[in-house]
Amino acid sequence: SSTYHSMQIELNRRFTKGVAAQWNYTWSRALGEEEGSSQEQNDSYRNLRNRSFDRRLLAFHRTHVMRSNVLWDLPVGKGRKFGAKMPSLVDKVIGGWQVGAIYNVFSGIPLNITSGSATWNDFGDNTADVTGVLPRDLGSVSRVGDGVVYFPGYRVLDQDPRVQRITAAGNVRARSTLRGVEGPGGILLLNPEPGTLGNLGQRRVEGPGSFRLDMNLIKTFRITERFNAQLRADADNVTNSPQFDVPNTDINSLNFGRITAAGAPRIVTVGLRLNF
């Protein structure tokens, strides 16, 4: 069971006076119990007596998506606004240029803050117990001395305080690897009690957003009426901005909140193409 609602706006400029452009924006919400439709998807219900308990933001949900592109045929060269009567040799150098750009902005994917503990059944995708106020916008990419974190001001506890309730007989308590998370106001995220589910909703916060600017520059050389050649340079991620991956969201991991991966850096390719 899933629903999708959105507001979509699009603006188009058809190719006029050497310029074509397109811009669109989507504000949406995708809710459901599970992504996909195959039978194996049923295994993720944490409580079969209440399947709606797992209704949440779907993994492909994006609150905001903005896409835009522009193509500009520079008005310089023979038959154009500037330099219409320039010599052929000059036209071959400064005429026939075209610039294109694609600029996209996306909000982050929904994050599931988990305890990794099977306290209710044999599934380990349980959420944490929240003991204070967890703001929805707590995440922000921050560079620290030894890397990049997404939850600045939050730290992993040496041990979950609830571990003290475990018997010390047979060294059982000392074997526990349960930790938890402390926020600016004190202890905030703990492991659920045995026989309970975490009280934190699934996918409660959003991960890092991203933006990307791609551009190209094309020079067209007319050889004959039938043949022309194109020299082009394409640059992906022109600004060379890091496309940060999602952070670790396991409250029992020493890497909680740490981002350890990012997308591709700037890539520039140059090519020659013959059209006929």
pLDDT digits (tens, 9 = 90+) for 94-118: 777 899 999 999 999 999 999 888 8
Q: Residue 144: which of 247, 265, 264 has the closest Cα?
A: 247
* Predicted confidence (pLDDT) at residue 60 exceeds the cutoff of 70: yes
* 248 Cβ contact partners less than 8 Å away, ≥ 6 residues apart: 255, 256, 257, 258, 259, 260
Q: Could you tell me if 171 and 165 are in contact, meaning their C-beta atoms sit under 8 angstroms apart?
A: no
Q: Could you tell me if 28 and 61 are in contact, meaning their C-beta atoms sit under 8 angstroms apart?
A: yes
In terms of pTM, does the model score above 0.85?
A: no
Q: Kindly give the pairing relationship between strand 155-156 and strand 110-111.
A: unpaired
Residue that wins the pLDDT comparison between 104 and 171: 104
Mean pLDDT of the chain: 88
